[in-house]
A = this chain, B = another copy of it.
Amino acid sequence: MTSRVALGGAAVRTGANAKANAKARARPVRAAVSEPPAAPASEQVPAARGAARKKVVVLGSGWGAISFVKSLPASAPYDVVLVSPRNYFLYTPLLPGAATGAVEERSIVEPIRRPIAEKGWKYYEAACIDVDAGAKKITCRAADPECFDDKGRDCEWHTFDVDYDYLVTAVGAVPNTFGVPGVEENCMFFKEIVHASRFRREVNERFERATLPDVPESRMRELLTFVVIGAGPTGVELAAELYDMVYQDVAKMYPSRLIPFVSIKIIDLQEKILSAYDRRIAEYATDFFQRANIECLLNKQVGEVKPDAVVITDKITGEKSEVPFGLAVWCSGIRLNPLCEKIMDSLPEGTQENRRSLACDKNLRVNGSNGSIFAVGDCATIVRPRSMSKAMELYKSAAKCDDAGECEIDLDKDQIKAALNKGVEEFPHLEEVVNNIDDKFAVFAQANGRCTFDGFSKMLTEVDNGLRALPATAQVAKQEGEYLAAFFAQCDGDATKLMGDETKFEYNHKGSLAYIGKDAAVADIPGFTIVKGIAAGIIWKSFETISQVSVRNIFLVASDMIRTKLFGRDISRFID
């Protein structure tokens, strides 16, 4: 995989898009109060800047939004308004560290106003509650509690509309309980900085409670059992950081009699932790956890979360059991942000069939929005065209036909290769088959060394099915945000160019890293190697430090890491 922007030809769609674009330029007809009628002098844009500039509204303040905002030059002809109820960016990979005090909460956040102010753009601390794709307008609600109380204030400014020419949706996803009863009530989620603060506070509280006089041993054991549900990178890192905290710091400060009662457990449906990683990594990490005495409850389906126990069923034996806990954390997957449903409902029927995320084209334009809505990060899926849709056309292109229109009904290897090559431009994933044509042909051809249309179809179906959505990671969101900013900058505000298909987003996987405790990590660096243990731990610490979004955060995280090594973690508990 390369990082260059590939040039794809798709002139076919230009006609339709130009029309759509004309529609997109039409002003909304509903009377939206989107800006103060008379803006104070200090905020008026210079007249020269006005006319041709496009209004871009960005929703969200996570990885996708901040990388878009940071990468889009202030000189590009766009007036950007960012709307998010959360006024800071959170460096999510260090959230487990913040949850245990290894780094401070403040060190891994960055005020969203900083990059916005640098570029002279606007930010509203408000939640977007509705999108009218037809009128190109969003409705926002500010988090002004004064408007909900009984003081009788006049709160007309509480809910307001903002017009856009282009909407960039980067609202992420929300935790998914998969309908398991009791999760909302009895588990913590682990996605935001407040979850990290809460985790730190609640772990601390369990230890304080267990230290009190007269607490029976059974209660101590329950209080000090920490259960993480979901053994993906977040769950694994949280369990690992908790392990470090308990044995490096808590053990020094709390009575030693407590330690035998501590237990950390991680539950997953798969047979290894980190099951989405390379098999060697998953095995190493699972083994590492087991040796560290972090109990891995694998192949376990969670059926219910009770106030003090998780009910699990073994996937293989069908055996049901209960895991009592003092604190349970749900790190088990994500689902569509409800705002995206509203966007889907606002688009023409049939354009958004997949309800798991916003279906986009290769330039991150949301299908059905006529190029006026873009999406990046966890809320977006790039729908790649399935080659099966043109199977007959490709097959025919390589078949020899006689004058009467009669064609061969089976093709040899070279013909199949030619047919595939014909489709590579439109369906880049076919390149993989071309490169492995000997193996693939052997599978789908007949004994006579020729392949029928039926075999060819099966071959394409297999390849199409191998098309996977990009993972819901920070890395993908960041690259999409950067790409989109570059695309906007390159199009220079030109509506036709913004509808064009000259370029496309390509994901460049730079590797996966996960911290697994005791200064060790696992790293999968594509095209290079797999690194495990302390060496990977050093890579992890360096990477997490230099990957911070600002010099300020690099300074903070580095000083936190030094501090933790020197003085241990701060185990104070604030109750707000």
What is A's interface to B at a CB cutoff of 8 Å? 33-36, 39-43, 87-88, 104-106, 109-111, 113-114, 116-117, 122-126, 142-144, 146, 151, 156-157, 160, 162, 193-194, 197-198, 204-205, 208-209, 211-216, 219, 252-257, 307-308, 551-552, 555-556, 559, 563, 566-567, 570-576
Partner of A43 from the list B124, B160, B216, B255 (CB cut-off 8 Å) is B255
Q: Are A142 and B212 in contact (CB under 8 A)?
A: yes
Copies of this chain assembled into the complex? 2
Q: Are B43 and A111 in contact (CB under 8 A)?
A: no
Q: Are B88 and A160 in contact (CB under 8 A)?
A: no
- Chain B min CB distance to A333 (Å): 24
Partner of A567 from the list B124, B216, B257, B555 (CB cut-off 8 Å) is B555
Residues of chain B with a CB closer than 8 A to A40's CB: 257
Instruction: Across the A-B interface, give the 5 residue pairs with the lowest CB-CB distance, nearest first.
Output: A88-B572, A125-B208, A552-B567, A40-B257, A42-B257
Q: Given A208-B87, A556-B563, A563-B555, answer yes or no on A213-B34 (Cβ-Cβ < 8 Å).
A: yes
Q: Are A197 and B256 in contact (CB under 8 A)?
A: no
Q: Are A552 and B566 in contact (CB under 8 A)?
A: yes
Q: Are B552 and A125 in contact (CB under 8 A)?
A: no
- Chain B min CB distance to A144 (Å): 5
Residues of chain B with a CB closer than 8 A to A34's CB: 213
- Chain B min CB distance to A55 (Å): 13
- Chain B min CB distance to A488 (Å): 23
Most chain-B Cβ atoms within 10 A of its Cβ — which of A124, A208, A257?
A208
Query: CA A554 – CA B530 in complex, angstroms?
Result: 41
Query: CA A204 – CA B204 in complex, angstroms?
Result: 29
Q: Are A575 and B42 in contact (CB under 8 A)?
A: no
Residues of chain B with a CB closer than 8 A to A125's CB: 205, 208-209, 211-212
Q: Are A253 and B208 in contact (CB under 8 A)?
A: no
Q: Are A126 and B212 in contact (CB under 8 A)?
A: yes
Most chain-B Cβ atoms within 10 A of its Cβ — which of A122, A194, A219?
A219
Residues of chain B with a CB closer than 8 A to A35's CB: 213
- Chain B min CB distance to A531 (Å): 31
Q: Given A87-B204, A87-B573, A106-B570, answer yes or no on A214-B253 (Cβ-Cβ < 8 Å).
A: no
Inter-chain pairs besides A42-B257, A142-B208, 14 sampled, C-beta below 8 Å: A35-B213, A36-B213, A87-B573, A104-B104, A113-B571, A125-B205, A143-B205, A157-B215, A194-B576, A197-B576, A552-B563, A552-B566, A555-B567, A559-B559
Residues of chain B with a CB closer than 8 A to A122's CB: 255
Query: CA A124 – CA B209 in complex, angstroms?
Result: 8
Query: CA A194 – CA B106 in complex, angstroms?
Result: 15
- Chain B min CB distance to A335 (Å): 22
Query: CA A34 – CA B571 in complex, angstroms?
Result: 26
Query: CA A112 – CA B36 in complex, angstroms?
Result: 52
A–B pairs, 11, beta carbons within 8 Å: A35-B213, A87-B204, A106-B570, A109-B572, A111-B253, A122-B255, A143-B205, A194-B576, A197-B576, A552-B566, A552-B567
Q: Are A117 and B252 in contact (CB under 8 A)?
A: yes
